[in-house]
Amino acid sequence: MVMNLRNSLNNKSIGVIGIGSFGTVIANILAEKNEVIVYARNPEVVEEINQRHMVEGKKLHLRIKATDDPEYICDRCDILFPMISSSGFTEVMRKFSPFLHPYHLLIHGTKGLCLDLPPGKSLEDVQQINRENIYTMSEVIQNETVVVRIGCLAGPNLAKELEVGQPAATVIASRYDEVILEGQRLLRNDNFQVYGNKDIIGVELSGVLKNIIAIAAGALAGMGLGENAKGLLISRGMVEMIHLGKALGGSTNSFIGLAGVGDLVTTCSSTFSRNYTVGYKLAQGENLELIKQGMEETAEGINTVRLVKLFIEGKDLRAPITETLYRVLFEGYKVELALQYLMKIPLNVDVDFLED
């Protein structure tokens, strides 16, 4: 379905790929300054946006139009914001790849990881993986397209709060100053501050790994435990994130910034967080598969726990929160036993990553 509107080269629209809750928020923020084209796979969603300026009951800015044609949006937008789940990210990039060029600039907002498996292998066939088997979303874009100028968007950005204009901030990370500056120019407004960071892998990993700790925080809340226990979990979770992040190629500085500790504190404290909700419901005795079926969007932390557990197998890495949560999610380990175990782990040092 192709729209009739065509902008001049000097006044191109900004593209958003995906129109979930976060994609909708980003599209509305972008539309405050620019014409926006969003990509949706479902023609009925495209029609609803173009005819009613609505999607899933949410109001869209009048400057937002929609299409289900990848070639159309790539032709009319030099800057694109992919806002899709990690499970579908590779497929979408492959679909868009024939229409993307080196002049395009992509800034994604996906907090997940992809696994590169040998042909014919499934996740259940794998006992151990290395860093070269794990891709962040910026690495997927590099692998699947000719796009060079790549960035990511990460931070404490709960969509439900952004929808109503509550103050927030985010980080645009990229190796390219131009990507950071363009992201700041397009997104910054009176209620939305945008910082920059050159460590794109560290920022991506910050947004990914904090989802593990958010599931654990939800479980803690579901058990009815208090703020002292939450403070313990968040602080130990921060240390675990940094050790894992460094092993995966990130910098410590990124983890103690807005995309790391800022996002961690937010998602470990909010019922708006999908990962927190998973943990909470698990602690209430609900079945994981039923929890997943009842969620409108993906809780990325579930897949992240599985991939990180495979990554640390056979390596000199200890990640007790991740390992214990894996047992809860995939081996039927009781939440209350998991929390008791984590409370008893003998740790002799509070903070050790600053000495490396």
Cite the active site residues. 210
Tokens of 228: 């002292």
H helices within 32-124, ranges in order? 43-52, 70-76, 86-96
State the sign of the Cα–Cα–Cα–Cα dihedral 42, 44, 46, 52.
negative
Q: Please provide residue 3's backbone torsions phi and psi, each rounded to the nearest 5 degrees.
A: -80, 160
Query: What is the rounded distance in angstroms from the CA atom of residue 99 to the CA atom of residue 94?
Result: 10
Q: Which parts of 138-249 are beta strand (E)?
A: 149-154, 168-174, 192-197
